[in-house]
Structure 1
């Protein structure tokens, strides 16, 4: 039986993926399209809980993405849709990666040392948010970090929590967000630090900052999916524990 935690998290992921995106219902899939970018990380589908997709459904989903010039791609919690991966692989999809989904509940967060020479600041103006987003773009290796700097409506309203790391020089060297809380759940995302400032505890400090703020606002299940390298260990130090697995699949 699907646990309530997994059900709630997959529901949250599905609802927030559709926010500010165009969506299309294709069989048991919700396809989401981010009109401002063709990045595969912003355009993907999520299957319904417990779905066992038919091959015709998968073919229709693949064609819908290709008609838009997008890479057909899916992201979902394996526990929520245990039969989907095998069908997708049989239809030609390949596994990109499996990533743990980690949760930090109230009372679990662990304090982190304050990074030397770094201030953690909540950006309050559009200009400050654009500086934060640019630092994130640099951290994630975007070809042109000055593209797509406009904050989302949720960031501008403060519904999405944001934090930026500011060096003594005034340079913004990192940033991250906690998405709008829905039914007690929120996702920590976009934690990035520019190369010259890494390995100083900035990512862990920003994660703690956002997690505490989210808990204070009523977030019961603060979750994230760590990237490659040492990210999982870093988030573990803050108090996050693995609760589920997220799978990413795509087809060329």
Structure 2
């Protein structure tokens, strides 16, 4: 298994651990148990995709519609190069293209961050209110200006997800300003996802410091490859400061009838 295949398999493993898996060969759909947010419900190909997939794509739509979720795909383009054309023909539009980047112990560069910054590692034993702060902060980081309410069910689900993974909460002068989380490691590989900093605190090295702390924690727990995906070049440069290097690209496709999301 080469590095690109290893990263995609790690994504499948993380999705199986966190979500409900519904096989529809040559795909598997992953559904969040209670949250219909478009980014938490998606499809990953099981491997290379060839031949006639129209019936499988029809069945996938049925599965999403039955759960009142928006059909969406996210996958490594190099491992299914024909899929983009199939999805376009089936009524999907490209939502985004991301750079997949990886960091190892050999490339890792520690990054301290600004003064007055504190970083907390969240585990299954962390106080529920700390975990709630993490959930609120990351959601606000991705949706500036929106009022965010995090219920007990989401806090409990996040704590459950931390059984083998870890989350990170950055504070400036005690105020939560940034967060991120790596999933349960699989064969020495894990993904750092959901890294978000509140809009008014961006550009100060807070995100880089959080990613650096996450990498340090992952490597201390036996991880060999920590990876992430980023859509913006600005974020990519931030991650490069910590030792992440470009590997390949990911594609995100969503039902063309769905409203655009920020």
TM-score between the two structures when normalised by the length of structure 2: 0.88
Structure 2 CA distance, aligned partners of 1:59 and 1:43?
Answer: 17
* 2:17 match: 19
How many matched pairs? 247
Cα distance, 1:88 vs structure 2: 1.4
| Native 8 Å contact 1:75 1:249 kept in 2 | yes
Structure 1 CA distance, aligned partners of 2:204 and 2:46?
Answer: 41
Cα distance, 1:186 vs structure 2: 0.8
* 2:160 match: 153
| Native 8 Å contact 2:132 2:150 kept in 1 | no
Unmatched 5+ stretches in structure 1? none
Structure 1 CA distance, aligned partners of 2:67 and 2:34?
Answer: 12
Structure 1 CA distance, aligned partners of 2:171 and 2:24?
Answer: 44
Cα distance, 1:45 vs structure 2: 0.7
* 2:28 match: 30
Cα distance, 1:194 vs structure 2: 1.5
* 1:107 match: 106
Structure 2 CA distance, aligned partners of 1:98 and 1:114?
Answer: 29
SS of the aligned residue for 1:238 comes to: coil
SS of the aligned residue for 1:249 comes to: strand
> RMSD value over aligned CA atoms?
1.7
Unmatched 5+ stretches in structure 2? 258-262
SS of the aligned residue for 1:87 comes to: helix
SS of the aligned residue for 1:122 comes to: strand
* 2:95 match: 96
SS of the aligned residue for 1:79 comes to: helix
* 1:65 match: 64
Q: In the alignment, which of 202, 208, 215 is matched to residue 211 of structure 1? A: 215
SS of the aligned residue for 2:38 comes to: coil
* Deviations 1:120-147, CA, capped at 9 Å, x for gaps: 1223322212212211122122744222
Structure 2 CA distance, aligned partners of 1:126 and 1:185?
Answer: 28
SS of the aligned residue for 2:40 comes to: coil
TM-score between the two structures when normalised by the length of structure 1: 0.91
* 1:175 match: 179
